Amino acid sequence: MRTGVIGAGYVGLTTAACLAELGHDVVCCDVDEARLERIRHGNLPMHEPELPELVARHMATGALRFQSSVSACAAESEVVFVTVGTPSLPNGDIDLRQVAAACESFARSLGHGTVVAIKSTVSAGTCQKMRELIARRSRGLAFSVASNPEFLREGSAVADFMRPDRIVIGAEDPRTSAVLRQVYRPLERRGVPFLVTTTINAELVKHAANAMLALKIGFINEVADLCEAVGGDVRDVARGIGLDSRIGGSFLMAGPGFGGSCFPKDTRAYAATGRRCGAVQDIVEMLIRRNDQRTAQLARRVIEAGRIPPRGRVGILGLAFKAGTDDIRESASLAIIRELKSRGIGIRAHDPQAIDNARRLMSAEELVDSPYEAARGADALIVATEWPDYASLDPARIARSMKGAAVFDFRNVLPWKVGEMHGLRLARIGVGTRHDADKVIESGANRLDDGRAAAPM
């Protein structure tokens, strides 16, 4: 089929390359002409495994083309996928300006019967709004607007697109859902489940799915706090919980809080929809607050338990919001850094992929090329992103490099054992000690003044 993809970001570029892989003719467009030019020269705007090869292969066959005219892209397509950004407004709701601008620019050039599929993550009711917006400009043309939410993760975008858990299609008429089913026929043949429903339901599936996943993370992070307070180990507790097939083991890794361009923004938008429509989502409202507070609490823990002197320095390992990506949007690592800096603490940070993106926010002196360089002269060291490389760090070399001795592993990646620490004091997330348990049993105390369980070192 002839398909158009509006937007050449994480979702747009992955969608475009994967649609070509599924056998479609694809034209991908973006308002950022410089971005398109870099992509045409094989210089992709993000670090994403498998994507450069897929883009190159399908550009070479001619199945995938790039162009800057949004209206021309839509004019030659039977199905137009909208994948532009949907950032947060100050009240948490979604800023629909990019989606509306995209629909406005192609409204007059759609062909008869074109299906517009909104892949950007949007609040319930957006497809209806875009239907009305296009209808006002398209002078009686037959077209439809469907919801086709995307569930890929950064760092495994191609694999997630090609082997999804499900495909969700929200449509208001059988022809539209049939056209979209046709696009994904190769995946349906491989057994991928389909949900065909209304546009409102499809929009809600996307927001509620992200809220549910974020809730699992928020929950396990609170379990981690409890483990620290009573001398437990969240890694075993998570394993034990996750083996219950009704709960499932994924998204139960305790850490510094969820970040990225999606969970924070999408939970805010979901909660804002609830407030706006009189169905307040208390659980998610609380989750957002707890996640926002977590990084500041962890920074305080580093300063107190790490005994950081005034104007001291902390080494940071990892800036990306998770491993496998160079994306630093709403990264927990950056939130911890902001909190430390606001208290006069100096920073030396390393990341294997995200340094270029971090340059926009941090000075050249704060960014270093190796983890050992980040540790050099530091009063404390934090592992903030779970890059596999950090698991093989040599504790002896870290100990020699650092001025202080406190290492905070907020991702539980360091495999160091007691007796191999070379004088370092390692604190893992959600891992308490026998000593902490005894303190709790004896005094019933071990609390910080804000009522949260105190963080043992």
Binding site for ligand NAD (CB under 6 A): 6-12, 29-32, 35, 70, 83-86, 98, 101-102, 120-121, 150, 152-154, 261-262
253 lies in the binding site for ligand UGA (CB under 6 A) = yes
CB of 385 to ligand UGA, least distance (A): 8
Using the contact rule CB under 6 A, the part of the chain among 17-25, 90-98, 101-109, 256-264 near ligand UGA is 256-264
120, 269 in Cβ contact below 8 A?
A: no
Using the minimum distance from each CB to ligand NAD, give the nearer residue, 322 or 348.
Answer: 322
By CB under 6 A, the residues from 301 to 330 that bind ligand UGA are 321-322
| Alpha carbons 121 and 29: distance in angstroms, whole number | 19
Taking the CA atoms of 398, 400, 403 and 405 in sequence, report the sign of the dihedral they define: positive
CB of 331 to ligand UGA, least distance (A): 7
Report the DSSP beta bridge partners of residue 425: 406
262 lies in the binding site for ligand UGA (CB under 6 A) = yes
Sheet holding 79-82, edge to edge: 64-67, 25-29, 2-6, 79-82, 114-118, 143-147, 167-170, 194-197
Tokens for 418, please give them.
């007691």
CB of 116 to ligand UGA, least distance (A): 20
218 lies in the binding site for ligand UGA (CB under 6 A) = no
Tokens for 369, please give them.
């090329």
Partner interacting with residue 251 (select from ligand NAD, ligand UGA, none; CB below 5-8 Å by kind): ligand UGA
| Alpha carbons 183 and 19: distance in angstroms, whole number | 8
Using the minimum distance from each CB to ligand NAD, give the nearer residue, 68 or 433.
Answer: 68
Using the minimum distance from each CB to ligand NAD, give the nearer residue, 102 or 316.
Answer: 102
Contacts of 189 (CB under 8 A, 6+ apart): none
CA 173 to chain centre: 33
14 lies in the binding site for ligand UGA (CB under 6 A) = no
Partner interacting with residue 98 (select from ligand NAD, ligand UGA, none; CB below 5-8 Å by kind): ligand NAD
255 lies in the binding site for ligand UGA (CB under 6 A) = yes
Report the DSSP beta bridge partners of residue 408: 382, 427
Question: What 3 state SS string does 403-420 have?
Answer: CCCEEEECCCCCCCCCCC
Q: Among residues 184, 194, 251, 372, which is the contact residue for ligand UGA, using CB under 6 A?
A: 251
148, 196 in Cβ contact below 8 A?
A: no
Show which residues are catalytic: 262
| Alpha carbons 427 and 178: distance in angstroms, whole number | 54
Using the minimum distance from each CB to ligand NAD, give the nearer residue, 314 or 358.
Answer: 358
Using the minimum distance from each CB to ligand UGA, give the nearer residue, 196 or 217.
Answer: 217
Tokens for 171, please give them.
């449509």
By CB under 6 A, the residues from 130 to 159 that bind ligand UGA are 150-154
DSSP 334-381: HHHHHHHHHTT-EEEEE-SS-HHHHTTTS-GGGB-SSHHHHHTT-SEE
Comparing CA positions, the residue from 378, 385, 431, 430 lying closest to residue 407 is 378
Cβ–Cβ contacts within 10 Å for residue 351, how many? 26
Q: How many CA atoms lie within 13 A of 24 on its CB side?
A: 28
Partner interacting with residue 252 (select from ligand NAD, ligand UGA, none; CB below 5-8 Å by kind): ligand UGA
3-state secondary structure of 396: helix
CB of 261 to ligand UGA, least distance (A): 6
Using the minimum distance from each CB to ligand NAD, give the nearer residue, 32 or 394.
Answer: 32
Q: Among residues 14, 98, 114, 210, which is the contact residue for ligand UGA, using CB under 6 A?
A: 210
Partner interacting with residue 12 (select from ligand NAD, ligand UGA, none; CB below 5-8 Å by kind): ligand NAD
Using the contact rule CB under 6 A, the part of the chain among 81-89, 180-188, 258-266, 438-446 near ligand UGA is 258-266
321, 329 in Cβ contact below 8 A?
A: yes
Using the contact rule CB under 6 A, the part of the chain among 64-72, 261-269, 339-347, 439-447 near ligand UGA is 261-269
CB of 166 to ligand UGA, least distance (A): 11
Using the minimum distance from each CB to ligand UGA, give the nearer residue, 134 or 272.
Answer: 272
Using the minimum distance from each CB to ligand UGA, give the nearer residue, 173 or 292.
Answer: 292
Torsion angles phi and psi, residue 373, rounded to 5 = -65, -35
38 lies in the binding site for ligand UGA (CB under 6 A) = no
Question: What residues line the site for ligand UGA (CB under 6 A)?
Answer: 121, 150-154, 210, 213, 217, 251-253, 255, 258-260, 262-263, 266, 321-322
